[in-house]
Structure 1
Amino acid sequence: MESKFIALDKAGEEVEWLWNFLKDIPYWPKLVAPVCIHCDSQAVIGRAGSMMYNGKSHHIRRRHNTVIELVSSGIITVDYVKSKDNVSDLLTKGLYREEVERISKGMGLRLRTSQKAVTLPCRLEIPKARFKEIKQSCV
């Protein structure tokens, strides 16, 4: 949970920087909507909404105070997203082909299909010539 809270804090810092950058542009309308950060951990969302922190780690306490300040000032909002619908998993985890296809379609991306590749159950695409070499070395 701490790693997800640290990630939430880092995302909040980036949003705050962009928020201040947009406020400094002279011809930009001054009303900037809060940025919604999606999180797949309800515990982190609960901690982000709670003013009380009873942990022992000083670095997490500082991050907690930063997130609380960003939420209360209206710069960010934190919403729950189911883990299976989390688009960032595509960038952080090894996924099976079906999951990559489903998430890519949800993002509006189109996958390239290769006619000259063999798909292994371990989620790798290997050219046929290289596949034969690997297969022979395993025997």
Structure 2
Amino acid sequence: MDHPMSQLELFSHVHKTNHRLEDFIDKKSKRVHDKYKASIEFNYGTDRDDQPEFDPDSWINAVNGPSKGCIYGFGPRQPVSHVLGTPASPRRSILAHDIMSNEDANKLKSELASAQNTIEENNERIDNLTVRLERVERNHKVELRDTV
């Protein structure tokens, strides 16, 4: 195969008996496949090279949205956030090959650096509190021993 397997190809492979051409394991699998395929072809054309590996909006429409916090076709233990990422909008996905601007990337880097500094400061506080607690415990043991 000269290209990565698309979500549609993977879904077809997994949801067909003996992986034959039109032999889906159930009606829902065939319906989702056909609806997603039609949406992909409508949005991107029939040439496989022009289609994305995965289009989350088309997939969500094909499966009629999440059910019990999961998205059909990704297994029962895959929450929506694992499939679609954790974007600001529930219909946008980091898997949709969105291009992040340099400004956004720099902002995220700055936020990450700030968070790392906060973590380091908190770790120092924890270390200091641990030392103080050990000192108090030692003093408490001495006082208790003297009292006894």
Class of the TM-score when normalised by the shorter of the 2 chains: under 0.3
Q: What's the TM-score once normalised by structure 1's chain length?
A: 0.27
Q: Higher relative contact order by CA 8 Å / sep ≥ 6: 1 or 2?
A: 1
Give 1 or 2 for the bigger CA radius of gyration. Answer: 2
Q: Which has the higher strand share?
A: 1
